[in-house]
Structure 1
Amino acid sequence: MSTIEDAAVWLAAADPDPIHARRWIGSARIILLPLGERWSAVKVSEHQGLAAAAALRGPSIHDPSGQCVYFLVAPHTVWDAPGSECLGESYWLTVPTPAVKEPPGPYWLRAPDGSGQLVDAEELRAQLGARSVSAAGAASVKQP
């Protein structure tokens, strides 16, 4: 199987009806999948998310219309980083199919490879924290 096929199988497994999900993945650009069972998603502002995604491994989705980035993390991740939120059980996410890597609509910054690798929440927290500190430092520099 190719990486795209592996990723499609992996994504479809998140749906309560994986056969239905495989049909959607094979015929559409996006699919609505539940969160909290196979993975959760940390939602971050577009600016912070795009910068952090460049430094992280694991699946991340850019949603240009929502001006945000979603990072797929382990289910039941405990999350407390300011300016972001972790979406888990009782949430559903619009997920691009594995081959969608550019707009229109949501697309993968880093598509899953089917292995089950997720974004490490601690690394994500560190990236977001480092960017918040540098942004705060830049804002406190006085202009002449």
Structure 2
Amino acid sequence: MGQGRGPITDWLAGAHPVPRQAEAEWANHGVAMLPLGVRFDALRVPRRRIHAAVGSDEQGTVAQSLNGWLHGPVVFDTRTNCYYTLTAPDAPWDRPGDRLGTGIYLSVPRVGRQISPVTFWAVQPQRPGQLCDPAHLAALLATAEPLTVES
């Protein structure tokens, strides 16, 4: 995987059956479609739930809070208006929200400077294999539950 931009990029690209294709997608478009269930799954959380939990909708504040709570990579996609926390494929999740895994592809931004205004890292990975612990996400979301009323 020698054309990568470092060990984190190489690790992410390794989720793709043809890692060089992922690298080319990052180079040409700033995002790559990576299959879930190989190196990681994703937990999809609506923007409103994350913003209620962290008490802000300001991008820098949200990023800092997510990093402090989750200690792992989080993607934001403006098309779905959702955050995607990257978790281990076998990590337990029994909370409301969607677990995305095998058979689903996720738009994953390239590591480094943001290129896409649509899909970008809310929290970039800091090392290969770094993933979020779903228990930390559950704890974060629990902080907002008393503040929101479902209708």
> TM-score, length-normalised on structure 2?
0.78
Amino acid at match of 2:134: A
4+ aligned runs moved over 4 Å, structure 1:
none
Amino acid at match of 1:22: E
CA deviations on 1:73-130 (whole Å, 9 max, x unpaired) are 0103332212x11101111101111125475111001111232110111111111122
Q: 1:46 to 1:103 in 2, by over 3 A?
A: farther
In the alignment, structure 2 segments of 5+ residues that lack a partner are: 55-64
What is the alpha-carbon distance in structure 2 between the residues aligned to residue 33 and residue 49 of structure 1? Answer: 24
Percent identity, aligned pairs only, is: 31
Amino acid at match of 1:133: P
CA deviations on 1:45-70 (whole Å, 9 max, x unpaired) are 01223536253210001112211100
Aligned length: 133
Check whether the contact 2:30–2:116 (CA below 8 A) recurs between aligned residues: no
Amino acid at match of 1:93: L
What is the alpha-carbon distance in structure 1 between the residues aligned to residue 127 and residue 23 of structure 2? Answer: 14
What is the alpha-carbon distance in structure 2 between the residues aligned to residue 53 and residue 20 of structure 1? Answer: 30
**Which entry has the higher C-alpha Rg, 1 or 2?**
1
2:43 matched to 1:42?
A: yes
Deviation at 1:24, TM superposition (A): 2.2
2:81 matched to 1:80?
A: no
In the alignment, structure 1 segments of 5+ residues that lack a partner are: 140-144
